[in-house]
Structure formats: C-alpha cells, structure tokens
Chain A
Amino acid sequence: MTAGTTSVVVRLKLSLLRNGLRQSAGRRAAYVFSAVLALLFAAAQLLGFVALRGHAHADAVAVLATAVLALGWTVMPLFFPGGDETLDPTRLVMLPLRPRPLVRALLAASLVGIGPLFSLLVLAGCAVSVAHSAAAWLVAVVAVALALLVCVALARTVATANIRLLTSRRGRDLAVLSGLVVAIGAQVVNFGVQRLGSSGLGQLQPVGDVLRWVPPASAIGAVDSVSTGSYGVAAAQLVLSAAAPAVLLAVWGRSLTRLMTTPDASTLQAAEPAGRDRSRTGLARLLPGGRTGTVMERSLRYVWRDPKTKAAWVTSLAIGLIVPVFNALQGTGSIYFACFAAGMLGIQMYNQFGQDTSAFWLVATTISSPRDAYVELRGRALALLVITLPYATLVTTLTTALLGDWPKLPEVLGLSFALLGAMLATGAWTSARFPYSIPQEGHKNVVPGQAGLAWISIFGGMVSAALLCAPVIALTIWLNVSEGGDGWSWALLPAGGLYGAGVTLLGLHLAAPRTATRLPEILLAVSKT
C-alpha cells in the first residue's frame, strides 16, 4: 500500500515533468539547456573538488559548499512556488491518504529531477575532496545520502510551512523581493570572492569550523573527521546529520496534516475577526500634525507594506551599506565611499508620484495650490529623511571606524548631507517634471515606452545632483590640499549640512509650482499600464 502510493506519486511527478515539456518547444529547449548547464556546472564542480583533494583548506570549502547548497534548497521554494507542482500538497487534499505514507511518497518524488541530481553531484564532490581512507569512503556514501535527504526535506518543510503564505497575496509580495535577494546575494558573493582571492582559502576556516556541526554540512564534516582519525567526533556529526532529517520529517508531517485539514488562506482571511485598532500607531503620534504628518505617515507605511517600494528601499539600504563597508573591510576602500549610502537612499526621492501609481488621483484632488504641493513634497522628503539621515550617519561612522580615519569623519558626513540634499532637490524636481509609471506586477520597474523618461529622470537627476554638490566638493578638495586646511575640515560638517538643507528647500520650492500646475499630466504619466 505504502510502496504503491510512493510509486504513484513518483510517476505523477515524472508525468508532470514530461507534460510540462510537451507544452511547447521553447520550454523544452529551455529545460534541456538549463539541465545541461546545471549538470556541466555540477560536473565541473566535482572535478574541482577532486583537484582540491589534499589542499589544506579542502575541508572548510567542502563543508561550506554543502551549507550553501542546503541554504539554496531552503529558500528556493519561497521564491519559486510554482516550480514544482507536486510540491503543493493541497492539490492532493481530496485523496484518501494518511500523512505518513504521503510524506514518504512526496519525499521520494522530490528526489526526482535535475535539482536533486545536481545536488548529488555537488555533495559527491564535497565528500570526495575530504575522504582519505577506506573508512572515510564508506562514511562518505552514508553522508552524501543523508545530506541530500536533509536538503530535500528542508525544501519540503519550508514549502509546506509556507504554502499558505505562498498562495496568498503576502507570498506574491514576497516574490517581488526575490530578485532583490539574488542581487544583494551576488554583491556579497562578489565581495567574498574578491576577499578570498586576496587572502586565500584560509579565510574560510573559522566558518567551516562552525558549519561542520550544522546539518547537513555535518555529514561532510563526519567524512573529514574519519579521514583524520577522529572517530568519536565523526560519530557525533553523523548522529546530528541523521537526527536532522528525522526532525524535519516530523515537522513536515505535522504541518502537512494541519494544512490539509484546515480551510485555505482566502477563507481564513475573509473570516479574520476585526483586528486591533491601528489607526493611531505609535509612529503617528511622533509625527507632526496636518498634511505634513499625514503624508509622512503614508510614505513610511508604504516603505514597509508596498512590495515594490520595499524592494527599492531594501536594495538602496543594502547597497548603500555593502559598498563602503565591504570596501573598507578589504582595505581597498576610500572613506569617501561612505557617501554612497546618502546617494543610494536619495534615489528614493525620484519619481515620487510614480510610486503612488494611479492612486495619485487622490493626492491630485487635494492639491489646489503650489503651497499644497510644497507641503506634499516636503512631507515625502521628511519621511525619507527619517530613515536616511540616521542611516547615512551610521554608515559613514562605521566606514570611518573600519578605516580608523576619525579626523575625516566631519568632512565625509558634511559631503554625505550635501549629496543627500542635492538628491532630494533633484528628486523632487524630476518627480514633478519627468514622472513615469511603475508596474505593480513582476520585476519590471518601467512600463514599455517610458524607459527614456525613466532614464532622463534618474540619470539626469543624478548628474545634476553631483553638479549641485560641486561647491561642497570643491571646498573639501581645497581644504585638503591647502596648507593648514586640515584644521578647518570640521567646518565641512555644518557647511555640508546647511548646504544640503538649503538645496533641498530650493528644490522643493521649484518643484511645487510645477507639481501644482501639472497634476493632470502627472496623473496620466503615472497611470500607464
């Protein structure tokens, strides 16, 4: 009976794969191409690991690779929920199946596909690179199987625990963030690789020492321990590796039962009782009254609640931190890189009304004078400053601390504030003059036909912002090269701050009348789909 279920589900998975490919030649080509690519990559990795045998830090690399692989399996179902149709057990809900056989069957089905094959090759490579005795080879076979099991069980557990999330609006919101995670991850990997290149694989050793106790990397750690003769350690690591899938399968089985015996997300959401009163949050009480506070509150709520806005903010925050701090860590960076944070965050002022989408009509019906437009824009700039000002200060201070160049802190802070002011000013002006629509679905940020507009808005604005900063930059250079100028570099902090504030006010004053007279045109520009 159990074996029957398993083989049926595995065959179901195979049919789904086959039928998916039968649908179109393009899809088939893409599948074959990605399969070949993945297997070539895995094979190359396998060879690489074989070549790594005997290297002093091979164990750390192998353990780390296993951990990264497991991480991939964990986050994959969050971002690509539609990727595997048998992954969604709610489709099987009408069938008379007990949880235990179902778990076994779904697990077996999960082991079919390119992903598991790819992982098998990578894990085999990891094991090969650290296996140096007959006993180690024996343990390696068990270790690879256990590690693969943990990976697949991880993916299944996470997917089931989140299936409600994945089929709901919230889950789809999360998917918008997925591109971002990949982008930031790439940045981190890039810096990591550079760092490795400059100082060798030994850098990985401390990380490896921790990870060798974390399943599934602990399985590979066990192979290494056997190779070095530490049988006790190896046994402990193996036990850990075996306990992990057991725990995961139990958790998975429990959430699967719960999932299949309770109503789905949409029903639950509709029946949700009236929640707590959120109309006056703590945040709102701290904000000023009138239109300013109202606009700020809405803007700040959108940073958190609107997936597109959130993705843009997280990208800016992350890159604004990563570039100066990682460069400083590598010792290659200049302290002036700290201005990156202010620049990246200032971008959020651009295309303010495009961020509203066609809901801008509501704002348009409440703006009847340049004064209203001014207060509206100022509110948005203030909301931005609430996050940006402390963040830019923090990043600048952190970068300075890493480089140990404290005397330079005031001038870099001053430069940051001046740049931020210039970005806010140009952002406000281009928001009024070159608004464009931001599509709400998918990863695209510009509607077809408005790409030129977006380019003018962002790049024209950024160049203008740099030009606007010229006086402060010139002052900085002059103080740095002139004799005795160092004694006056503290003055750049107030000077930069005042200059930034002045430029911002000027920009807002110039943007406001344009906004007020161009309301219908702005609405038209931001309503394109």
Chain B
Amino acid sequence: MTDASGAGTPAVRVQGLWKRFGQQVAVAGIDLELPAGKFIGLVGPNGAGKTTTLSMVTGLLRPDQGSVSVVGHDVWRDPVAVKARIGVLPEGLRLFERLSGRELLSYSGRLRGLPGAEVDKRAAQLLDVLDLAGAQHKLVVDYSTGMRKKIGLAAALLHNPEVLFLDEPFEGVDPVSAQIIRGVLERYTASGATVVFSSHVMELVESLCDWVAVMAAGRIRAHGTLDEVRGEAPTLQTAFLELVGARGRDASSDLDWLGGGAR
C-alpha cells in the first residue's frame, strides 16, 4: 500500500507546528517524522496537546503556524490526496447518532465516493469482525462507549486508508471490545499500513506500538522506537514519568496518616 508514495516517504511529517487558544499555548512548535508501516503511539498526560496535534494533522483544526504532510502530500494545500489516504477517529466529537450503525457506515462510505455494493460488502464484514452485527440496526445514540469506538473505527477503516489516526481509541472501552479493536489494528498494520494513536495508558502503548512519541506541555519530549524511548528504564511507564518530569514527586512524606495503623 505504501509503495505508491515511495518507500522512504514518512507517513507523517510535521514541521514547526503551533497552536494557541487565547492565552494558552496548546502545541508549542512540534517537529516530527512518523515512519510508515509502523504502529505508532502518541503518549502524554492529559492536556499535553495530543488531541490538538492529531486534529491539526488530520485537517480538522487549522494550525497557527507550521506544515503537515501525510505520505508526502501537504494536508492544507493538497486535501484531495490527503483525505482519501487517511482514516480518522476523533475524540470528543459526535457521530451522526440518529443513524443506525449500518447506516452510518453506508453513509460515510458513500460520502467518500465508494461504490454502493462495495460499501455494503465492507460494512457487513467490518460489523461482523467488530462484533457489532447484532446491533447494526440500532441507532448509534443508543450505543455504549465501546460500541461507539468500534463503529467509529469501522467508519475510519471503510475506505482502506494508508494512515489511520485514532484519538484515545481505548478510552472507556471494555476489555472485550479493546481486544477486538486491537486484533483489527494489528492485522491492519501487518499489511503495511500505518496506525497513529494517542493514549495515556503506557502498558497499552508498550504492548502495541513499535514506535513512540512522548508529548508534554505542547512539545515532543522524546520519539523513536520503543527501545530507544525506553532506554535504561525497566518500563515505558518509568521512562515516561522521567521524561515528563513527574519522578521527583514522592508522596511518601505526605499523607503518612493514610492507611492501616493508628486511626
């Protein structure tokens, strides 16, 4: 899939990306190259700017400064090439909730110009694999969080994108649904496609990703393969806490009254 754009082209190239909301700087100058064909994790604490970054990369939010290109095409100058090649699962935005799951897939596939019969075939398979076949005629408004994430993922995968951007795909998802989502994503990257997902659950990122970028306070603190970012630290969690400067906060001296012993 990636060979069309050349083997050496990174999946995403971000240069000097800035975004301010009033006084607050959400993203403070990001330069980043994400390699193609990898399972990439964008990790960081809440408020680090992950959602803002992903929104700007996917063309849903206009940056104040900087450029973004996806598989060699500029997101803002060449939207035709980019929008056909990416799939998006945003966080905190609604879906067309008064459509049934099936109708939502049919709608988004046809909006992308796929032939109707092909959309129906792919939708049926996706619903089946994601274990949504039983709920396909229920309105999305009646779906649980896990079901919403799954139908969102199905909509993002329907047009077989080269790069998939998922904002917190596992947030609020039950273990069974999480395992299903995981299986689908692993199969997808194994075929050479790229997945970029954000999360603040380190264990998850560590077990899924082969490439990680760590964000804090609007900047990239570290990036590279999992081993490079982890370095000497035993786990990604430890390495992450060191990177974002949260290690020093030892709580043992405070709250010493808490727990067993004298009440």
Q: A residues touching B (Cβ–Cβ < 8 Å)?
A: 169, 269, 272, 274-279, 289-291, 293-295, 297-298, 301-302, 305-306, 356-359, 361-369, 519-521, 523-524, 527
CB within 8 Å: A-B pair count: 98
Selected A-B contacts with CB under 8 Å, 20 pairs: A169-B142, A278-B103, A291-B110, A297-B107, A298-B99, A298-B107, A301-B98, A302-B96, A359-B97, A362-B155, A366-B108, A366-B112, A368-B79, A368-B82, A368-B83, A369-B80, A520-B60, A520-B61, A520-B62, A523-B60
Q: Identify the closest chain B residue to A379 (Cβ).
A: B111
- Cα of A298 to Cα of B96 in the assembled complex, Å: 9
Min distance, Cβ B162 to any Cβ of chain A, angstroms:
14
Instruction: Determine if B96 and A359 form an interchain contact, defined as CB atoms under 8 angstroms apart.
Output: yes
Asked if B113 CB lies within 8 Å of chain A CBs, one says: yes
**A305: B residues at CB distance < 8 A:** 98-99, 139
- Knowing A294-B107, A305-B98, A357-B94, the reply to whether A364 touches B155 (Cβ < 8 A) is no
A274 engages B62 (CB within 8 Å): no
CB distance from B125 to the nearest CB of A (A): 14
Complex contacts, A366 vs chain B, CB 8 Å: 83, 108, 111-112
Contact: A279 with B59, CB < 8 Å? no
Most chain B CB inside 10 Å of its own CB: which residue of A294, A295, A297: A294
Q: Mark B127-157, 1 if CB is under 8 A from A, else 0.
A: 0000001111111011000000000000100
Quick check: B93 and A527 within 8 Å, CB to CB? yes
**Is the pair B137, A365 in contact by a Cβ cutoff of 8 Å?**
no
**Interchain CB contact under 8 A, B137 and A362:** no
The CA-CA distance from A361 to B90 in the complex, in Å, is: 8
| Known contacts A269-B142, A358-B93, A361-B93, A306 near B59 by CB under 8 Å | no
Chain A residue with Cβ nearest B80? A368
Give Cα A273–Cα B155 distance, bound, in whole angstroms. 23
* A364 near B139: Cβ-Cβ < 8 Å: no
- Nearest B residue to A304 by beta-carbon distance? B98
Q: How far is the CA of A215 from the CA of B88 in the complex (A)?
A: 59
Complexed CA–CA distance, A293 and B109 (Å): 13
Which of B98, B107, B136, B139 neighbours the largest number of chain A CB atoms within 10 Å of its CB?
Answer: B98
User: A301, A365, A521 — which one has the most chain B CB atoms within 10 A of its CB?
Assistant: A365
Query: Judging by beta carbons under 8 Å apart, are B98 and A519 in contact?
Result: no
Please tell me if the beta carbons of A289 and B96 are within 8 angstroms of each other in the complex: no
Q: CA A165 – CA B111 in complex, angstroms?
A: 34
Name the CB-closest residue of B to A294. Answer: B110
Q: For residue B79, which residues in chain A have a CB less than 8 angstroms away from its CB?
A: 368-369
A397 to chain B, nearest CB (A): 33
Q: Report the nearest A residue to B93, measured CB to CB.
A: A358
B138 touches A365 (CB 8 A): no
Q: Which residue of A277, A356, A527 contacts B96 across the interface (Cβ within 8 Å)?
A: A356
Contacts beyond the supplied A294-B106, A361-B93, A362-B111: 18 A-B pairs with Cβ under 8 Å: A269-B138, A269-B142, A274-B134, A278-B137, A294-B107, A294-B111, A305-B99, A306-B98, A358-B93, A358-B94, A359-B93, A359-B95, A365-B60, A366-B83, A519-B59, A521-B62, A523-B60, A527-B93
CB of B226, distance to nearest CB on chain A (Å): 30
Contacts of B33 in A (CB 8 A): none
User: Which residues of chain B are within 8 angstroms of A523 by Cβ–Cβ distance?
Assistant: 60-61
Q: Which residues of B contact A362 (CB under 8 A)?
A: 95-96, 108, 111, 155
A275 to B88, CA, bound (A): 29
B50 interface hit (Cβ, 8 Å): no
Residue B58 CB within 8 A of the other chain: yes
Complex Cα distance A361/B62, Å?
Answer: 13
The minimal Cβ–Cβ distance linking A83 to chain B, given in whole angstroms, is: 25
- B82 / chain A contacts, CB cutoff of 8 Å: 368
Q: Which residues of B contact A520 (CB under 8 A)?
A: 59-62
Give the distance to chain A from B47, nearest Cβ to Cβ, in Å: 18
Residues of A within 8 Å of B102, CB to CB, are 278-279
A residues less than 8 Å from B103 (CB atoms): 278-279, 301
* Cα–Cα distance between A269 and B134 once the two chains are bound (Å): 12
In the complex where A169-B141, A274-B133, A369-B80 touch, is A279 in contact with B94 (Cβ < 8 A)?
no
**8 closest residue pairs by CB, A with B:** A294-B110, A368-B79, A305-B98, A275-B137, A366-B111, A358-B93, A520-B62, A368-B80
Q: Which residues of B contact A290 (CB under 8 A)?
A: 110, 113
Shortest Cβ gap from A361 to chain B (Å):
5
Question: What is the CA–CA distance of A442 and B74 in the complex, to the nearest angstrom?
Answer: 42
Q: Which of A279, A293, A361, A363 contacts B120 (CB 8 A)?
A: A279
- Which single residue of chain B is at the shortest CB-CB distance from A298? B107
Minimum C-beta distance from A110 to chain B (A): 32
Partner of A302 from the list B90, B98, B110, B116 (CB cut-off 8 Å) is B98
Is B100 an interface residue when CB atoms closer than 8 A count as contact?
A: yes
Q: Is B241 an interface residue (CB 8 A)?
A: no
Interfacial chain B residues near A521, Cβ < 8 Å:
62
Question: Which chain A residues lie closer than 8 Å to B86 at the CB level?
Answer: 365
Q: Which residues of the other chain, B, contact A357 by a CB distance below 8 angstroms?
A: 94
The answer on a CB contact under 8 Å between B141 and A279 is no
Q: Is B84 an interface residue (CB 8 A)?
A: yes
A residues near B98, Cβ cutoff 8 Å: 301-302, 305-306
Residues of B within 8 A of A361 (CB): 60, 88, 90, 93
Complex-state Cα separation, A278 to B102, whole angstroms: 9
Q: Which residues of B contact A364 (CB under 8 A)?
A: 59-60
Binary A-proximity of B35-59 (CB < 8 A = 1, otherwise 0): 0000000000000000000000011
Q: Given A291, A297, A365, which contacts B88 in the complex, CB threshold below 8 Å?
A: A365
Report the Cα distance A277→B127, complex, angstroms.
Answer: 14
B92: A residues at CB distance < 8 A: 358
Residue on B with the closest CB to A369? B80
Query: Chain A contacts of B135 at CB under 8 A?
Result: 274
Residues of B within 8 Å of A302, CB to CB, are: 96, 98
CA distance A369 to B108 in the complex (A): 17
Known: A291-B111, A361-B60, A366-B112. A301 touches B88 (CB 8 A): no
Task: Please indicate the chain B residues that have their CB under 8 angstroms from the CB of A291 in the complex.
Answer: 110-111, 113
- CA gap between A305 and B84 in the complex, in Å: 30
A276 to B135, CA, bound (A): 11
Name, among A359, A362, A521, A527, the residue most crowded by chain B CB atoms within 10 Å (CB to CB): A362
Distance A298 CA – B111 CA, assembled complex (angstroms): 11
What is the CA–CA distance of A81 and B135 in the complex, to the nearest angstrom?
Answer: 29
**Shortest CB distance A370–B (Å):** 11
**A272 to chain B: which residues have CB within 8 Å?**
138
Smallest CB–CB gap between A114 and chain B, Å?
36
Of chain B, the residue at the smallest CB distance from A527 is B93
Tell me how far the C-beta of A178 lies from the nearest C-beta in chain B, rounded to whole angstroms.
19
